[in-house]
Structure 1
């Protein structure tokens, strides 16, 4: 089976994924064709040795790609998809297009087309992302496993068996980096109010969040256990957590925030 891949759209996310595949040796430049109408972005992709085309009409009919990964803006998806219908009988389509449901892909590519919908978050651009996937019934196990290998160069991968859960993933991991960035902002401001110079406050807040995240990800202990290890009875951490955890304040706030994001994801979903 051919392992040729067509990458449609090579902006920051597409380029980062492309670089990840090549750096990991999963694909060679000769196996990848990039379709990117923007001249500067196409030239950037070409620096990695891949074949760059301005539009889909330039793809040879005999290319026979195994994977066609769509990484374009959602507002242009209806204009982009029709050009790839000719490959729908053989290729598996992977979408990293925000908010666009599998049904829309099937509308343009046919009900028998193999579609994998993904929701990556922004840290995927540095290989530290969280990518959640959903596949329709036409995707074979072997191709799904190959796509997982490709996506894992961008971070952790988790699959859901109900497309509705993609909206939940959007609210948690898709929007989640912004929640963490805001926490860094708030912790920085608290440090400034307490007396630290802003540059120092920013460094303390950012490195603390970074270090805690790395520790949580690498430790065999649960986040609950790690929190308890830091919290001495009647100590400084306990005093602060009384504010954050009293009456489940932060938990309730996060549940409300994720609920709002989830509802908005449903409202914005493209059919």
Structure 2
């Protein structure tokens, strides 16, 4: 039986998830509510039904799951429009929006908090989710069925863990993209042509990530295998690893993201 989904909001993250679903062999039947014309047209181009508001949904529309992909600041305004789908499982991907806030807008519904990331669009996402007590085993299985084709899924029992995984994998792709930018800028600084610098940085990161995934060795072992004593890599790592410089910087960045996720929840 085809799964019926309602996707509320189709910005970058919503569209990434939509693209992943529409590429599934047994693609669900997806209806998207998106007020922005350009984003709604982009959603419709995937084969989904796209409307501008909840008022355009048929009176007898009954989705198995409602995916809430709007910005946290908009969630309180949006939720009342969808409380009528009380038999559905509501899956929120809004950073920092708590179970309590979602229940306040939806009533005593089955609610899942989930944090995906944008590589879900190519089936390489990372998802962390937690469910409230009203979520049945069948609904948990449905959530996994929707998420697993698009990446790696972690179910965490403690809602507080969602803010932590937000800071790591939810925001993490941006950290890596910035690393590519920084590596390309460094390559240009030592004299590589701009086009070579950019592509060398991209392909180096891609190749290293692919090796890390496919190798049975951990990252530390792989790093040491590249690092000949007294060689070029050792010289570079001497800068990055002195006084745990890069580790401390990444810890500060992740902690800042985590704190912001908690702030969004309080707001």
- Cα distance in structure 2, aligned partners of 1:47 and 1:192: 38
Mean Cα deviation higher: 194-203 or 36-45: 36-45
The yes-or-no answer on 1:238 pairing with 2:231 is: no
> Equivalent residue for 2:35?
37
- Native 8 Å contact 1:12 1:125 kept in 2: no
Q: How many residues end up aligned between the 2 structures?
A: 267
> Equivalent residue for 2:113?
117
Q: 1:177 aligns with which of 159, 173, 177?
A: 173
Cα distance, 1:226 vs structure 2: 1.0
SS at match of 2:101: helix
**Unaligned runs of at least 5 residues, structure 1:** none
Cα distance, 1:40 vs structure 2: 4.0
> Equivalent residue for 1:12?
12
Cα distance, 1:257 vs structure 2: 2.3
- Native 8 Å contact 1:101 1:269 kept in 2: yes
CA distance 1:138–1:203, shift in 2 (3 Å): same
The TM-score normalised by the length of structure 1 is: 0.88
The TM-score normalised by the length of structure 2 is: 0.89
> Equivalent residue for 1:70?
68
Cα distance, 1:189 vs structure 2: 2.7
The yes-or-no answer on 1:51 pairing with 2:49 is: yes
Written as runs of structure 1 = structure 2, the 5 A alignment for 1:1-271 is 3-28=3-28, 31-88=29-86, 90-110=87-107, 112-270=108-266
- Cα distance in structure 1, aligned partners of 2:238 and 2:45: 54
CA distance 1:16–1:121, shift in 2 (3 Å): closer
- Native 8 Å contact 1:2 1:64 kept in 2: no
- Cα distance in structure 1, aligned partners of 2:251 and 2:38: 42
SS at match of 2:67: strand
- Cα distance in structure 2, aligned partners of 1:186 and 1:44: 31
**Unaligned runs of at least 5 residues, structure 2:** none
SS at match of 2:83: helix
CA distance 1:49–1:179, shift in 2 (3 Å): closer
Mean Cα deviation higher: 139-148 or 208-217: 139-148
Say what the alpha-carbon RMSD is for the aligned residues: 2.2
- Cα distance in structure 1, aligned partners of 2:165 and 2:248: 18
- Cα distance in structure 2, aligned partners of 1:126 and 1:200: 25
- Cα distance in structure 2, aligned partners of 1:227 and 1:237: 9
- Native 8 Å contact 2:117 2:127 kept in 1: yes
